[in-house]
Amino acid sequence: MTHTWDPDRYLTYADERGRPFVDLVVRIGAEAPATVVDLGCGPGNLTSLLADRWPGAAVSGLDSSPEMIAAARQADDRVDFSVGDLREWAPGTPVDVLVSNATLQWLPDHLDLLPRLVARVRPGGWFAVQVPGNFDEPSHTIRRDLAAEPPYAAHTAGVAVPDSRDPVVYLEALTALGCEVDAWETTYLHVLTGEDPVFTWVSGTGARPTLQALPDDLRPGFEAEFKRRLREAYPPREHGVVLPFRRIFVVARVSTSSTTER
C-alpha cells in the first residue's frame, strides 16, 4: 500500500517542525542566488521562507505528494510548486541553492543520491540537508516493536520507515565530492501540549505509513496500544510533554573547480 500525506496533520506542530529548517537555511552563505530549489517541500510553508530571504530568486518546490503540493500552491504564489520524485529531478541548468529538509530519510539509498544532487548545483553553489536523527528514540522504537507483533506484523512488513546517518557520514561523503562541508547535530526539547501529543506528532510523519498499512478493524487497537506506550515513555509534566528530537544538519559549498559529471 502506498501511503499518503495529510498537510493539516503535518502542520499541527508547524513551529516546532520549522525550527530545524530555519537553523539550516541561516547557515547558507548565498547572497543573491538566481535559482533556489526545495526538494521535499511538503505543504510549502517553509519554502516561503526561501522566497522571503531571496526575493530576487526564482524559487521552486518539489514533492512527491499531490496532497502536499495542493496545499503548497494555496500557501504562496511566489513559488513554483510541482509534484515529482526527487530521485528523477533534473533542472535544465544547475541551481544556485538546493535545500532538502526532512525528506532524504525516506529514501533508503539517499547516500547514493548525493553525487547526483551535488551535480545539480552550480560550482560555488550551496547544498543544504536536514534529516531527523532520532530513530533510536521511543517514538520510533515503540512503533517498530508494536508493528512487529501479531496480528499487525502481517500488514506492516515492508512499509516505508525513515532512517538517516550520523553527521560525520554526510560530511565524509560530501567532502569526497569536493565540497566544503559544515555538519552538525542539535537535539531540540519540544514541549508539547494536548491529548497524546507525541502520537499526534508521529502519526503525521514517521508512523503514518505504518498506520495506513493496517486494515480498519486492526488500526484502532494498534493506535490505542501505541498511545498507551507513548504515554509511559513520554509522561506529562506540569509544563507539558517533553519530546527530545535529534536533528542532523549539513551545509555544503560546491567546489568552484568541481569535475562532478552533470
Query: How many Å apart are CA 120 and CA 35, to the nearest integer?
Result: 11
Q: What is the mean pLDDT of residues 8-12?
A: 80
List the strands of the sheet with 35-39, edge to edge. 80-83, 58-63, 35-39, 95-101, 121-132, 241-253, 180-192
CB atoms under 10 Å from CB of 236, counted, come to 14
* Confidence at 7, pLDDT banded by 50, 70, 90: confident
Residue 262: predicted pLDDT: 41
28 falls within a domain: yes
Q: Measuring CA to CA, how many Å separate 153 from each of 138, 150, 194?
A: 19, 5, 30
60 falls within a domain: yes
101 falls within a domain: yes
261 falls within a domain: no
262 falls within a domain: no
* Confidence at 260, pLDDT banded by 50, 70, 90: very low
Distance of CA 249 to the CA centre of its chain: 11
Residue 50: predicted pLDDT: 98
For the segment 79-114, what is each residue's pLDDT rounded down to a tens digit?
999 999 999 999 999 999 999 999 999 999 999 999
1 falls within a domain: no
Residue 168: predicted pLDDT: 98
Give how many domains the chain has, as a whole number.
Answer: 1
Residue 4: predicted pLDDT: 84
Evaluate if residue 1 carries a pLDDT over 60.
no
Diameter of the chain by CA atoms? 58
Residues of the chain with pLDDT > 70, as a percent, come to 97
Q: Are 253 and 175 in contact (CB under 8 A)?
A: no
76 falls within a domain: yes
We report the CATH number of the domain holding residue 122 as 3.40.50.150
2 falls within a domain: no
Q: Are 61 and 86 in contact (CB under 8 A)?
A: no
- Beta-bridge mates of residue 182: 251
Model-wide pTM > 0.85: yes
Residue 13: predicted pLDDT: 85
* Confidence at 126, pLDDT banded by 50, 70, 90: very high
Q: Are 241 and 198 in contact (CB under 8 A)?
A: yes
Report helix angle 219-233 to 138-147, nearest 10.
150
For the segment 159-214, what is each residue's pLDDT rounded down to a tens digit?
999 999 999 999 999 999 999 999 999 999 999 999 999 999 999 999 999 999 99
Residue 83: predicted pLDDT: 98
Domain that includes residue 228, residue range: 7-253
Evaluate if residue 11 carries a pLDDT over 50.
yes
Counting runs of H as helices and runs of E as strands, what totals does the chain give? 11, 7
Rounded to the nearest integer, the mean pLDDT of the chain is: 95
**DSSP 3-state assignment of 32?**
coil
Residue 114: predicted pLDDT: 98
